[in-house]
């Protein structure tokens, strides 16, 4: 059943949202709206959200009095878009060569729609595209090499919400729930209007609408730790990646970065134990992310990999997140 209160009410009327987080969410939303303000379609809502954000910022002692002027300078954004589009088009052949050719499945991680998708990219699509490139470069960093990987990953930073944006200097402050005042409500309503404006601009296009708002920033969340492993395994051999206690609150990502050997990932009772039927087979060029119990009994503590080829070595990347 559709909730009329959620549909027509203040979407940001939530006791878990602090004034500080709503203020910073407002700043970041303005940045996204300015970046996507093609043909001045968001002029009105940018003014509304900016005024409301400034008002709450004054209450919190955080407001930058030059916010409006800074946000009007979109030349940096336009330059970033042009640079990214040019780079991804001109480096298509180099990336293909590093990954084994244009038909290699790993190329789809970068170019699922060939290079045309980047040639025609808009500002509103930049966060999605740069994030895709960042993740694909991270996964394939061995094949790409340090220099190319670094260049590909560098495009995402200006578009990720929790990074410092050049047009606005964010200030970090403590939690102050007492300031849930009229200006807090006004900003919540302004942001609610912004959500509806974006939704009306891109009706039914959830993927595009999501690029304007990072709602997870409104709520406290636990920081995760990721441990990264990479290397190679000789033909027919097994290695231990990590000896620790595992629970299903964790995740394990395994990427087979070779092209002619399969991997088997499993939890072993002791170091050097051969795999049983329980575990996950990861074919060449493929990757998988699962909770630890999918790899074996959680009482086993040795996360291990086996090269199932008796001829070829295999290369891998493993990320354990907890």
Mean pLDDT of 72-78: 49
- The pLDDT mean for the chain works out to 82
Residue 163: per-residue pLDDT:
36
What pLDDT does residue 188 have?
Answer: 93
Q: Are 276 and 250 in contact (CB under 8 A)?
A: no
Band the pLDDT of 62: cuts 50, 70, 90: low
Q: For residue 138, which phi and psi values (nearest 5 degrees)?
A: -65, -45
What pLDDT is recorded for position 117?
82
**DSSP codes, 119-142:** HT--GGGHHHHHHHHHHHHHHTHH
Single out the residue of 19, 36, 68 nearest to residue 182, CA to CA.
Answer: 19
**In the predicted model, is pLDDT for residue 80 greater than 80?**
no
Alpha carbon distance 295, 303 (integer Å): 8
pLDDT over 50 at 175, yes or no: no
Which is nearest to 91 in space by CA: 111, 105, 109, 108? 111
Map residue 316 onto helix, strand or coil.
strand
CA dist 123 and 126 (Å) reads 5
User: Is the Cβ–Cβ distance between 292 and 280 less than 8 Å?
Assistant: no
21 burial (CB, 10 Å; 0-12 / 13-18 / 19+) is middle
- Provide CB contacts within 8 A for 255, sequence distance 6+: 139, 282, 286, 287, 316, 317, 318
pLDDT tens-digit map of 262-276: 999 999 999 989 998
Structural contact between residues 49 and 194, judged by C-beta atoms closer than 8 angstroms: yes
Cα 158 to Cα 82: distance, rounded to the nearest angstrom? 13
88-140 pLDDT, tens digit per residue, is 988 999 999 999 888 888 888 888 888 888 888 877 677 778 888 888 888 88
Tell if the pTM clears 0.75, that is, is over it: no
Domain boundaries along the sequence of the chain = 14-74+167-218, 75-159, 226-321
Distance CA 128, CA 240 (A): 35
Task: Give backbone dihedrals phi and psi of 264, rounded to 5 degrees, phi first.
Answer: -125, 120
Q: What is the structure's pLDDT at 221? A: 60
State the architecture of 226-321 in CATH terms. Answer: Sandwich (2.60)
Q: Rounded mean pLDDT of 72-83?
A: 59
Sign of torsion, CA 194 198 201 204?
Answer: negative
Check: CB of residue 301 under 8 Å from CB of residue 245.
yes
The pLDDT score that the predictor gives to residue 27 is: 84
Of the candidates 314, 304, 294, the residue with the CA atom closest to the CA atom of residue 271? 304
Confidence of residue 166 (pLDDT cuts 50, 70, 90): very low
Higher pLDDT, 278 or 181: 278
Q: What is the pLDDT of residue 21?
A: 86
Please compute the mean of the pLDDT values over residues 182-190 and round it to a whole number.
92
């Amino acid at each position: 059943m559709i909730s009329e209160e959620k549909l027509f009410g203040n979407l940001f009327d939530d006791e878990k949202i602090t004034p500080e987080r709503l203020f910073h969410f407002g700043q970041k939303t303005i940045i996204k709206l300015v970046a996507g303000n093609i043909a001045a379609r968001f002029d009105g809502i940018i003014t509304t959200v900016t005024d409301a954000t400034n008002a709450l910022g004054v209450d919190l002692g955080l407001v930058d009095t030059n916010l409006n002027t800074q946000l009007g300078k979109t030349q940096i954004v336009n330059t970033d878009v042009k640079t990214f589009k040019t780079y991804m088009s001109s480096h298509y052949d180099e990336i293909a060569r590093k990954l084994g050719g244009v038909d290699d499945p790993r190329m789809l991680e970068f170019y699922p729609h060939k290079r045309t998708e980047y040639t025609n990219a808009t500002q509103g699509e930049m966060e999605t595209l740069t994030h895709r490139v960042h993740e694909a470069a991270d996964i394939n960093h061995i094949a790409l090499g340090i220099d190319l990987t670094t260049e590909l990953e560098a495009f995402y930073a200006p578009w990720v919400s929790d990074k410092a944006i050049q047009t606005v200097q964010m200030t970090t402050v403590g939690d102050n729930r007492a300031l849930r005042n009229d200006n807090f409500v006004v900003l919540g309503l302004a942001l609610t209007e912004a959500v509806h404006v974006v939704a009306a601009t891109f009706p039914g296009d959830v993927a595009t609408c999501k690029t304007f708002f990072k709602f997870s920033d409104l709520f406290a969340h636990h920081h995760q730790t990721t441990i990264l492993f990479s290397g190679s395994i000789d033909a027919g051999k097994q290695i231990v990646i990590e000896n620790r206690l595992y629970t299903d609150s964790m995740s394990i990502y395994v990427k087979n970065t070779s092209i002619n050997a399969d991997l088997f990932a499993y939890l072993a009772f002791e170091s050097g134990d051969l795999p049983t039927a329980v575990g996950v087979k990861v074919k060449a060029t493929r990757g998988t992310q699962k909770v630890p119990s999918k790899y074996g009994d959680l009482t086993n503590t040795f996360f291990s990999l086996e090269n199932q080829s008796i001829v070829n070595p295999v290369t891998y990347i493993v990320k354990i997140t907890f």
